[in-house]
A and B are shown apart, each in its own frame.
Chain A
């Protein structure tokens, strides 16, 4: 319990540092939200007036303090571009991104675990050599590229889905899932090859261990040894890997969202960065950082549970 508390405390400290870095780095880069909003017709006076209205004429430290106080109370401020509270704006987008990420991880698990087992059982056959080579190839293809290929093949040639025809999960959850399968698959592809390779390797390593030999010598059938002992032990590192992969997938979905025109967090993050919509940028980056540290925390706690000797 104390271990967990300590971990959670570290998590908040990490988030605090992330927020400081984001806040101050954006005050260093060129471009001002007021100038961006007013465009080329801005006069120095109108920029000054709008900056005052936005509170941007205050020192950075003061602005940060004010912002942090708001965040503690759950108020992330108001978007410059949309005149809406940031929390409301992001809540809409978070749904799409989370759904996409959950689907990607689900596809990863469903495909990679049977595939890994299959490859381990067929190890050193021609089929395994082929699959391993293919795996290496897939691992090297970035998601946005496989995303473009999927769009072209399934969207333009086969017309299984309408590229860009995303339907909000609020309108129809089923049709939304139907659309998101394709980007989710693009995100899942490299993860599938990583997980199946990892699983194959750990299964092979476990199979050679003493307890397996003992189990066989006690007269167990191959299948039950494999599923009851080998697989169970081999899955532990895989599960921890999946935990970390989830954070990676959420962050990675930002790029794939662009390819499939999914209006998730990625889109709004990119547009807020170019529009210098500071409140939105800060909230999204903090949220992404939160997912990363959260999944790390879960992985750490799982490690600790499986093997109490570990105190990372």
Chain B
């Protein structure tokens, strides 16, 4: 009895204390001129080594920490970074980069030619004929010449410069997996798994310094709590919110910015299995699916319809007219189906990764639209990991709704995958004309010609109805009104250094 009493009073004291103190937890974010909390949907669940990281969500953050000899700007151009300028020889084989003077790593040391060579070496042929960056297999020789780095290619590659966004890291760093040292406007401070990643502006940055001193990247793995956390004041910026979340933030102190995600969202069809091995069936689906209706119904009208595997941000390659190849025409669709031997329609399954709500919403509208031509589609939700292993690698599917992005700012990143021999040609697309044009595009040194070959590839994809193309999703960014300067990029990055507090 006595023990109970003692324990009881102790608990009583503790809880009263806790309740009394709960008000103290409500401190708002500190001085907004020097700090911002950015919500990110997942932790950097892999190495912090920029040469090993592959997740889009990780690379998007590492963009602020690391830089290559060149880097991307918001218009999709490559601008000099660690190199102050570069020259390409007339035959397209020799690249000469001049190191910018006095560029410092976050640990205070100066970037040397050795560091650049070391960074190239890590990504180049490892002696077994494979390389972290496959395009580097084409490098015949690389060497330092004073302050210059000279790279010689075996065969010309007009895309090569794109690969030089490869991060330059110090040769002296023994543990790049966990200790991130780069030359970017922000330096890595610390991380707590599933909790946060802390960055701090780098005072010795060579270029335009970041406006905000301290950045907390807060991991918000549960999509349901994001808006309450924003309204409650613990997140200042969140990129890629859903239309539903954007509606919840109306009339709050958040501004919703709209850009594009730069994804090719489509119902990808397995061209290798029945009934989608018949081009007429694929075309019939294209005639039945109305991207505009999907955008209106599921995305509140925000999104850009597309007609091939290319999005508008790549304006050089984008063909707007491909949008009009298949306008809704149920009679034509039914006729095509009848011709292909399916006068009464058929049933198929759309496998959709369960963690991407936009794709699930799209699939649901597609199911309704296909009923108009007597085709029954069933949605099967699968976990992302199963999607990767079964659908993407295993190619065990009939149809799937997903968005395909470009890892680099070149058409090659989007179109090379549909070559009949490509390892990542998950839809089993096989077309001789396509392979020819792709080979010509990859081999051409002349930019204008190359663009034309790529455009021809896009046309073939549309004509052959390789997939049912839908849209480039709208990217909605919610930013607290006390901050400004968020910039959209044609690739998947978040440039934190450009964000500034409103004075």
Contact = CB atoms under 8 A, between A and B. Distances in A.
Would you call the interface of chain A mostly helix, strand, loop, or mixed?
A: helix
Nearest to B12: A110
B220 interface: yes
Interface in B126-161: 130, 134
Interface stretch (A118-126, A154-162, A244-252, A297-305): A154-162
Contact of B389 (A30, A46, A163): A30
A271 interface: yes
Q: By CB atoms of chain B within 10 A, which of A41, A156, A163, A175 has the most?
A: A163
Nearest to A277: B45
Contact of A40 (B1, B192, B222, B424): B424
A148 B228 CA distance: 10
Contacts of B386: 29-31
Given A151-B225, A261-B220, A271 B192 contact: no
Query: Range of interface residues on chain B?
Result: 35 or more
B388 to A, nearest CB: 5
A36 B385 contact: yes
B388 A40 contact: yes
Interface stretch (A56-64, A65-73, A178-186, A215-223): A178-186
B119 to A, nearest CB: 19
Contacts, number: 185
Interface stretch (A10-18, A81-89, A189-197, A201-209): A81-89
A60 to B, nearest CB: 17
B499 interface: no
A175 B229 contact: no
B148 to A, nearest CB: 31
A74 to B, nearest CB: 20
A258 B226 CA distance: 11
A167 interface: yes
A30 B12 CA distance: 49
B1 A174 contact: no
Contacts of B4: 235
B55 A267 contact: no
Contact of B26 (A31, A36, A49, A159): A159
A164 B23 CA distance: 15
A235 B23 CA distance: 34
B296 interface: no
Contacts of B480: none
A230 interface: no
Nearest to A163: B232
A35 B388 contact: yes
A270 B43 CA distance: 12
Given A84-B193, A161-B26, A274 B407 contact: no
A275 interface: yes
B234 interface: yes
B14 interface: yes
Contact of A162 (B28, B46, B195, B221): B28
A155 B22 contact: no
A212 B413 CA distance: 83
Contacts of B14: 106
B218 interface: yes
B42 interface: yes
Contacts of A107: 15
B390 A103 contact: no
A39 interface: yes
Interface of A: 29-32, 35-47, 49, 79, 81-84, 89, 92-93, 103, 106-107, 109-110, 113, 148, 151-152, 155-156, 159-165, 167-168, 174-175, 177-182, 228, 232, 235, 258-261, 263, 267-268, 270-271, 274-277
19 contacts: A31-B385, A31-B386, A39-B56, A81-B193, A82-B178, A82-B193, A151-B228, A155-B228, A156-B232, A160-B23, A162-B232, A163-B232, A168-B192, A177-B22, A181-B19, A261-B225, A263-B193, A270-B221, A271-B43
Interface of B: 1, 4, 8, 11-12, 14-15, 17-19, 21-28, 42-43, 45-47, 54-56, 130, 134, 177-178, 192-195, 218-222, 224-225, 228-229, 231-235, 355, 383-386, 388-390, 392-393, 407, 423-424
Q: What are the nearest 6 A-B pairs in CB distance? A: A31-B385, A164-B229, A163-B232, A178-B25, A263-B195, A81-B45
